[in-house]
Structure 1
Amino acid sequence: MEDDLAEEVIRVWGYDRIPSTLPGGSLTLVRQPAALRRAALVRQALAAAGLSEVITYSFVDPERLDLLGWDPTSPEFMALRNPLSQERSILRPSLVPGLLEVVATNRHRQMPDVRCFEVGRVFRSGGPDGLAREEVRVGMALTGLRSRRAWYAGRDSADLYDAKGAAEHVLAALGVEAFDVRASAAPFLEEGRCGELVVAGEVVGWFGELAPAPQEGYDLAGLVFLAELSLDRLGALPPRQVRYRALPRFPAVQRDVAFVMPEGLAVEEVEREIRQRGGGLLMSVTLFDVYAGKGVEAGMRSVAWNLTFQAEDRTLTDEEVNALHAAIIEAVTGRFRITVRGM
């Protein structure tokens, strides 16, 4: 063999007589795809928030879909032609079935406090050439105590706002600052205890409380709160423009306002009106109190906000702030036919 002969010649001639050279060529820096970067950011953010990542099967049981109010025979779902078992015969249309199985398994093993998430693909019919439409989503499930059991920790249970907060945490990790929350409905969510997240007019996700029927079907003893967002839809949105803004040089002025409003009136709508009427001098709006009980008419609640006013070029006077504060109150009470608490 030619290689063997060359080896013998080099051995006799001497390896030390061969000059040392470094390998030639160039290395190209390959940038990680945007979809993988989004998924990595979301995983890091949710893990830092105390949620545990899980990985579940991409195939689900038709009976589980039926428990969630979906028709497993619907043509929008992708059924396998030759499944290994009936329990894994449909490509998952959502991450919810797998997350609920994780919650149920943990509860049956005396671990009632679960805070988990999954990043994975979901599938629906209607893709090219008769294949499935795939979408990368992140799903979250919360149940049990809000924090780990310890003598120094409270005993508060997770609630709807924890699920909403987890979804907002994902949006923040991806740089989404402006979004709306609207009422929504889903067959497996409790009516009036769910909502959808809208960014730039596009519905990118939802959150809510699991309804009693699927809760019983999965044999879950406590309340379960869920959220799911589409990372593909979020990635398709226009990129956020990051602009430098100098630190404020002039002091801020704060005012509080509380409105007595019907329980059916969405807080989000009132807050949106406050922000719109506040204009450029209204720097922040913070909800800090919701009260219903003694002193408030039945069917009504008192909702209070802290308003922060600030100008970039001058110190605001009390007269300016009072006039703007009064204009906000007039606009909100006039539009929604509500009153200011204490007036």
Structure 2
Amino acid sequence: IEGAIDEYPGKHEKRVVTLNYARTNAILGTPINSETQREILLRLGFDLVSDDVGADRATFAVPTWRIDVKRDVDLIEEIERVYGVEKIKPSKPRGVIGTHPFDEVYDQIQEARRILCGLGLYEAQGQSLISVKAASLVLPLEHCVRVANPLSIEMSVLRPSLLPGLLDSVRVNLHRRNPSAALFEIGKVFARGGTELPVKEERMLGIVMVGDRWPVFWEGADRAAKFDVFDLKGVIEEFLISYGVKGVSYEENANPSALFYDSCLVLLGRHRLGEFGILSPQVARIYDFREVVVLGELNLDLLMRLRSREKKFESLPQFPAIRRDMAIVVPENMTHEQVLKVINAHKPSILASVEIFDVYRGRNIPEGHKSMAYAFTYRASDRTLTDQEVNRTHEELVRIVLMKLGATLRA
């Protein structure tokens, strides 16, 4: 039989790749003229299909045995290999630092995390989806955002608060025999909005504390002390001061949600920053808690808008301080915040600080009243104060406090 038989069921078309000569120089970081680039590829078996001199580019047909060559960067790699890597001069790395509007927000969130961790709290990370039962403890269901096709009944509502998730974390810790927990979480919460904005999102900060105030120790009067609402208030106060939010006031919440047994509002002027208080006993039974749980939530988006990022430094005092005390008898419903408002409204220039150090109820105090004792620290920045000057200032301030509050001095 004469001739040849070629079994070739499908003809293999050659792949073509277009090379931009300027792109080769940009990637390699060294100038290689177009003639040299073209000659290297032709020597390696690439066929020149077209050469567009005006556009500084050419199209090559890839040999069938070079199945690894698919893009222009593969051609550039071949040029680099033949031209010689040693001929390409090294250059310093060029970094590009971009900016984004979220960068500043992220930095502020990280600062909040750093402060809270420094106060002894651990960060928790919860789910954005919670159950209908948990969501109803915080917000009426008609104001919650429900998922159309939930995976389960336990993940059917977008969380309206961080607190249910934090309570779940505490329950897991307690069931794992970790009876003490001080946790915080930063995340977004969701609620139904208006017609223009169907879903409202806000970034919040949640805190929950339960168990022993101090680590286990072998002696000490406070070694069995438990977290209470004043520990939480102290954490919130210290966080706000460190975060640059000053002038905050506290007011009893007349209508707390079902989550709280008793709660307090955190206010800055007309702005409501958040709420904190004691967990409701009914909710505590749902979560199987046997100890008092204190919890709170702050609007972090609002805090980032209202905070002052300016840092101020005051030199250490050079002159001694003088302390004077005041014990007043007031009605039972009188709060420390009310007393401080009067003092701050008439604060003398030499008054450095005011601290409450005792609250007493009992013998020699009328029923329905209590005694509140305060320590006043007086100091001048430019001189040593005399007893006569401090006594005169202190007596006038005490007179104003008694008049404004309708209080009496405790004998």
Query: Is TM more than 0.5 here?
Result: yes
Q: 1:110 to 1:15 in 2, by over 3 A?
A: closer
How far apart are 1:223 and its partner, in Å?
1.3
How far apart are 1:217 and its partner, in Å?
2.2
Runs (5+) with no aligned partner, structure 1: none
How far apart are 1:339 and its partner, in Å?
1.3
Aligned to 1:296: 365
RMSD: 2.5
How far apart are 1:246 and its partner, in Å?
3.8
Return the alpha-carbon distance in structure 2 between the equivalents of residues 277 and 9 of structure 1.
82
SS of the residue corresponding to residue 110 of structure 2 reads helix
Return the alpha-carbon distance in structure 1 between the equivalents of residues 178 and 225 of structure 2.
16
How far apart are 1:149 and its partner, in Å?
2.5
Among candidates 244, 249, 270, match of residue 318 of structure 2: 249
Among candidates 49, 55, 58, match of residue 128 of structure 2: 58
Among candidates 200, 211, 215, match of residue 148 of structure 1: 215
Equivalence map 1:65-144=2 (5 Å): 65-66=135-136, 68=137, 70-72=139-141, 74=142, 76-126=143-193, 130-144=197-211
Q: 1:14 to 1:334 in 2, by over 3 A?
A: closer
How far apart are 1:172 and its partner, in Å?
2.2
Q: 1:23 to 1:242 in 2, by over 3 A?
A: closer
How far apart are 1:230 and its partner, in Å?
0.9
Asked if 1 retains the 8 angstrom alpha-carbon contact of 2:129 and 2:155, the reply is yes
Among candidates 247, 261, 275, match of residue 330 of structure 2: 261
How far apart are 1:29 and its partner, in Å?
6.1
Amino acid at match of 1:213: Q
SS of the residue corresponding to residue 355 of structure 2 reads strand
Aligned to 1:334: 403
Aligned to 2:356: 287
Q: 1:120 to 1:298 in 2, by over 3 A?
A: same
Aligned to 1:173: 242
Return the alpha-carbon distance in structure 2 between the equivalents of residues 104 and 155 of structure 1.
21
Asked if 2 retains the 8 angstrom alpha-carbon contact of 1:189 and 1:208, the reply is no
Aligned to 1:235: 304
Q: 245-254 vs 46-55, which deviates more?
A: 245-254
How far apart are 1:280 and its partner, in Å?
1.8
Q: Comparing both chains, which one has the higher relative contact order based on Cα–Cα distances under 8 Å and sequence gaps of 6 or more?
A: 1
Aligned to 1:186: 256
Matched, 1:314 2:362: no
Asked if 1 retains the 8 angstrom alpha-carbon contact of 2:203 and 2:299, the reply is yes
Runs (5+) with no aligned partner, structure 2: 1-45, 47-59, 61-71
Q: Which has the larger radius of gyration?
A: 2
How far apart are 1:38 and its partner, in Å?
2.2
Q: 1:6 to 1:327 in 2, by over 3 A?
A: closer
Q: 1:58 to 1:5 in 2, by over 3 A?
A: closer
Q: 1:37 to 1:200 in 2, by over 3 A?
A: farther
Asked if 1 retains the 8 angstrom alpha-carbon contact of 2:206 and 2:297, the reply is yes
How far apart are 1:301 and its partner, in Å?
2.1
Asked if 1 retains the 8 angstrom alpha-carbon contact of 2:348 and 2:393, the reply is no
Asked if 1 retains the 8 angstrom alpha-carbon contact of 2:139 and 2:160, the reply is no
Return the alpha-carbon distance in structure 1 between the equivalents of residues 94 and 158 of structure 2.
45
Q: TM-score, normalised by structure 2?
A: 0.75
Return the alpha-carbon distance in structure 1 between the equivalents of residues 258 and 248 of structure 2.
24
How far apart are 1:207 and its partner, in Å?
0.9
How far apart are 1:14 and its partner, in Å?
4.3
Equivalent pairs counted in the alignment come to 337
Q: 1:97 to 1:237 in 2, by over 3 A?
A: same
Asked if 1 retains the 8 angstrom alpha-carbon contact of 2:245 and 2:308, the reply is no
SS of the residue corresponding to residue 329 of structure 1 reads helix
Q: TM-score, normalised by structure 1?
A: 0.89
How far apart are 1:209 and its partner, in Å?
0.4
Aligned to 1:278: 347
Asked if 1 retains the 8 angstrom alpha-carbon contact of 2:208 and 2:295, the reply is yes
